[in-house]
Structure formats: C-alpha cells, structure tokens
Structure 1
C-alpha cells in the first residue's frame, strides 16, 4: 500500500498537480494572514463580504450561547431547531418557492437530491463543466448518465429527444465555478418543458450575486417553481456562513425528507450557523449596494486585465479566471503574485481540463478599488517579466 501511495504522490508532484494546504490565521477578509504572512486575497467565495460581518458574527455567538455549539443529532431525530426551521421558511420566501430543506453541505445536497429523484431505468443529463458533486451524484444514481457539451442546448435537446426513459433529469450549474459564466437556464427550462424533463440548477455561485434582489439565476431569468422545479443554493459563499439548501414544491421537499440519504443520515448544521445565515439573508436583501459595488469592481478589473492583454475568460460574475494553459506556468504565476503579497489560486487538472490551467481571481464587495488596482499592477509586472523571459 505504501508503495502505491508514494507513487501516486510522486506522480502528482512531477505533473505539477500536487496540492498543499495553507493555514489561515485570520478571519475571511480581503487582507488575511496565512502561514504567518500577510496577503491581499483574491481567492475567497465570500462575494458580498458577509463572512466576518459584525451582525452575522453577533447572531452566531448569541445562538451558540443559547443552543450550544453542536446540533446533537440529525434533523429527523432531535437536531432540527427553531433556527433551522425559521431559516428554511425565510429562504422559501426569498426564492419564491413553497419550501426549502437545509443540508449540511452543498456536496451532500447534490448527491442526496439526485439519488432521491432518479435511479436505474431513468436518464440524467449533465453539462460537461458541472461541479464534481453534480457529476458524482449522477454517476452514483444508477440512472443512464449522459453529458452534453458546455452550454450546448441543441446537443442536449437531441439527447432528450432520443431518450426513452420515463423520468429525465437535466442538471446544470447556474454559474460555473471555474469559468464564471452562466448556464442558459431560460432555454434549458423551455426544452425541459417540451421533453417532459425535470430541471435542477445548482446556483451556489449565483445566489446573492445575480438578480436585483440577489435571488440568483432564477431571478435573473425570471423562472418560477414550475419552470425550475429543483433549485439548490449554498450558504458558504455569498451568505458567508455554511451549509446548503434545496428549494422547490412542498411535494419535492417532503419526498427529499423521506428519501435523501444525505439528509436523513447526517447531523444537522449547528443552530448557530442557521441563526447567522438568517442575518446574512436579511443583509443580502437590504444592502443592495454590495451587489452594485461588486459589479463596479468586476468592470474595473476586466477593463484593466484587457489592457494588459491577458487572456481573460468571458464572465460577468465575481469569478474572473485568467487562462494560463499548462499547470506549471499557472503555479509559477501564482507564486510570483504571492511574492508580491497577493494570493490568487492556480486551478489545475483534474479540477479543470488538461491544458486549461488558470488563475482563478474572485472579487468581493469587501474589496476596494485600490486593492483591485494593486492586483492589476502586480499582474502588469508579471506580464513584463514574462515578455522579458521570452
């Protein structure tokens, strides 16, 4: 066993795909302390800057004093607190759905829902760039698993038309986590209706960011519960907390309570996390300036990168990937930025396809224009060094 493990690790290092953890020693914020060094960070998914918001922290502390730290059990035993229940009701109202159901993580939500809805004899269709949790959910379900080219609605429609299964489930990300672009959810909803297929959208990176009120892709495309029957969102990104939820009809939620193994057989989120998430939800809906500032920072960054001539991917979201190509170069660029006190993660295979390694820049409403300009200046120096080396 040791020989095989050592070979795997050596191979990863040789291919520049070895992953290492860094130790965060401060709260999530634009300026962080990692491994004893101070960095300006552009790699967090805290898009609205709520992870360390005083009101969110205060709600967490107050609830922890009342409920304790752990929930103690699964939701169906004795772990479903008043805070959990209130959050589910408020999320339902926010999303315009009948009900929502909390899960401990987004990965568990996706696995649980897909496996509860489809199985042997059914068909599931997924975008090639879907998140790993969606792909794993589809593969483990036992349903006939088919992938279609990224955002290729025509190819999906052909596959749906050829499918003979009674139950057909189409699953996509609302905002693709490594590219930052949107799925054409309005078109997907149309063809799913025509082919009697169910549509599920993982809107982990859309909630809080898209839509006038932060309602994500459903609000952005104005899709109701019938058009988009299975809507998933996470709390660990724009909400700044932790966990995930599924929003949909009363019948869907009741079915998941009965059948979703990753809901039934796991400990509930700590009540304090639910309490903090309720405050985040209020801030998300009332402090519209956060989305406005975020959009302005995105435009500022894109304009600056385009002037530098760097290959920026097409994205209007806080996820702004700079395409590098090979993993070795992506690591080198990330290291050069780190040497200037700027933290940007190099994304490499298998997270992305071979030959498409990138610097994944993520912006937050907590960033300032001066901080974005500092990143642009560092990228400019990187470009000059690269030109000189060539």
Structure 2
C-alpha cells in the first residue's frame, strides 16, 4: 500500500479548532489612517504619535542618519542621536544613565537575564508583562512567582533564599487593569534583603509622576542605587524602542553582557528622533499627563467602572470571551476602536474591553465615546 504522507504541521488544525471553539482565535485587523475612527485601543497615551513636532523629529533623523542603523550598536548602530536621547530621558526621570534597545521587549529580556543568571533568585509578580515572564525563563535563575501585588509573599521568598543575589520584578502600572504596584513597600523589602528591584514603567512613563516622570519618580525612588527601570518608547512617547535606566554600572554591564543589545540591530534613527521630540513635547507640556488621568476617569464613569482609574487603562470586565469580542466589534462598527483582552492574556471568566485614555481627546470625541459605549454596554449587559 502507498504510504500516506502526514504533514508535521497537521496538529495545527486541531489547535485552531480548539481555539475557535473556546472563542480565542485571534486575527490581524488592518486599520485605516489616523482620523477615520476614534481610537481608544492604542497605547499612544499622550497623543504624540501624530504630533507634528514628533513626526518632524523622525523625518529629520531619517534624512540625517538614514533609514536603518546598519548594525548592532557595538558595530555601526550607535549614533549621537541615540546617546543624546539616553541623556535627556535619564535626566527627565531622575536616573543616572540609560541604554536604548530595539524594543521594550528586548530591553526587559536584556536587563533581567544580564542582572540575574545561575545562582541567583528572581521573584516576579504573577501579572508581570510577558517579556518579563520570558526573561525569567531565559535567565537560568531560580524563579519564584509571587501572587499579584503581594508584598508579604515577596518578602517571604527573599527571606528564605540561599542565593547570594536576588532580583524582584514588577510592572509599575499593570497593563490589563491599570493597577499600580506597591513600589515603596517592595523597595523596602528589597533593601532589607539586599535585592535589586527592577520595575517596568512601560505604562507609567508619561502618565504617573510629576509631569509624567513615572511612578518610581512619584514615590521618591528615582535614581535609587538598588533600582533599575525599564520602559518603552512606543507608548507615551508615540514611537518605537525600549530603554533600561539605572546606575551607570548597570549600563556598562548591559553593553558587555545583554545579548539583545549586543546581537540585535540598533534601533532605527527615525524612531529615536521621534521619541526624542516626543520627550521634549512632554517636558514643555507637563499637563498632558494629568489630562490622561482626567479622560480615563470620564471613560470609567461612562462604562460603569466603580473605581477611579489610576492610569490610562480602563478595564471593563464582561466575562466570557465571545461577549467581550462581540462588544468590541459592535464598538468598532459604530466608529470607536477599543481593545479586547481574552485568555490567556487575562484569567478565564474575566474577558474584557480595555480602553485607553489619551491626553489629546477632545469634547466631541468624548461625546462619541459616551454614546457608543453606553449603547453597546447596555446591550451586552442586558
């Protein structure tokens, strides 16, 4: 009998059917140019991705330095523009130094792996970003996952460790619900036990703290010698890329040891130029950070969310994934784009709409959001 050839990827058909049955199949959806619909889904918190100064900053860098950096930053990918941005951002948030990576994801991978390793302990919040989760897996350190925002659990893990070095990982603002980490309490625990605190400020920069300097700055931990901050240039700064900020010794070590820095092509100059221009807009217009929180509060009230948001994120829990997805589609059909978070991004039974406020929302846009969200949510909650 002829042999039946079975594709080594045939198992993907079964996986796809299982995802469809669970309402968890994902697909890419193209979007029209900015302005065709009201965007309450992106992380462009300050509305700077379309700011003329930011666009001009990217264009000028493109014309000066070219489309790509041409190699890793240790070869040809390092420019005066990269280092100038690092200096200005470090000065803004109160850090001693900064180092730009090609994305926030690679910044977290590089920082965590290079600052931990075999013979060390990592204690990570259960709801840290996927990039920090992957960094833990790559670190070869012993990893303990602490319950969400549970300072006592972090202290217990540190107290019983046998390793010489320990790193505690947390987001400053958690991306799915916008909750704030107890940074001051975590730092107190870290200092008592000689651990490093590494904080991902991706959703804190530009929103929390004096003029948007971040939650670390707000709670008085900016520049602390036992704190490392990571962040992204793709949210409040409206561009692309990631940064690690902290003591000068950390920057020097990452240049020598962080594989995503050493072996990755340097961030394109246009992205750096745009981010630098965005940072300067934020410095000149510090009220943008306050406007984000004001608009988030308005959106939360419309959606019947009881707690006042502490960040740009407004989480509207609807339960099952098909309900949340249908609500997101209904909003888009009415001209408002919202995020839809389903498992495994969020726990089962907590699928939700994730709305993000922008500093640049105007009265007409808020009125549109109010009309659409009221109509859609009244229907799905009936």
TM-score computed with the length of structure 1 as normaliser: 0.93
CA distance 1:79–1:223, change in 2 (3 Å): same
Could you say which residue in structure 2 is the equivalent of 1:9?
16
Distance 1:364 1:239 in 2: 12
1:265-344 alignment runs, 5 A limit: 265-306=263-304, 311=305, 315-344=309-338
Distance 1:365 1:8 in 2: 41
- Once the two structures are superposed, residues 94-132 of structure 1 have per-residue CA deviations (whole angstroms, 9 ceiling, x without a partner) of 122221000001111111111111112211000101000
Could you say which residue in structure 1 is the equivalent of 2:33?
26
CA distance 1:344–1:387, change in 2 (3 Å): closer
Distance 2:296 2:363 in 1: 10
1:83 is matched with which residue: 75, 81, 84?
Answer: 81
1:140 is matched with which residue: 124, 138, 141?
Answer: 138
Q: Could you tell me how far 1:302 is from its partner in structure 2? A: 2.2
- Once the two structures are superposed, residues 260-285 of structure 1 have per-residue CA deviations (whole angstroms, 9 ceiling, x without a partner) of 00000010011122122111111111
CA distance 1:68–1:386, change in 2 (3 Å): closer
Q: Would the aligned equivalents of 2:122 and 2:144 in 1 still touch at CA under 8 Å?
A: yes
Distance 1:5 1:386 in 2: 32
1:1-390 alignment runs, 5 A limit: 1-27=8-34, 31-32=35-36, 39-226=37-224, 228-306=226-304, 311=305, 315-386=309-380, 388=382
Distance 2:289 2:222 in 1: 22
CA distance 1:257–1:386, change in 2 (3 Å): closer
Q: Could you tell me how far 1:155 is from its partner in structure 2? A: 1.4
CA distance 1:386–1:90, change in 2 (3 Å): closer
Distance 1:375 1:287 in 2: 25
Q: Which runs of 4+ in 1 moved over 6 A?
A: none
Distance 1:220 1:185 in 2: 10
Distance 1:386 1:289 in 2: 36
Number of aligned residue pairs: 375
Q: Could you tell me how far 1:313 is from its partner in structure 2? A: 6.2
- Once the two structures are superposed, residues 314-357 of structure 1 have per-residue CA deviations (whole angstroms, 9 ceiling, x without a partner) of 63211101011111111111122122221112100111111111
- Once the two structures are superposed, residues 132-186 of structure 1 have per-residue CA deviations (whole angstroms, 9 ceiling, x without a partner) of 0001101211111111111011111111111111101000001001110110101
Q: CA RMSD in A?
A: 1.5
Distance 2:80 2:52 in 1: 22
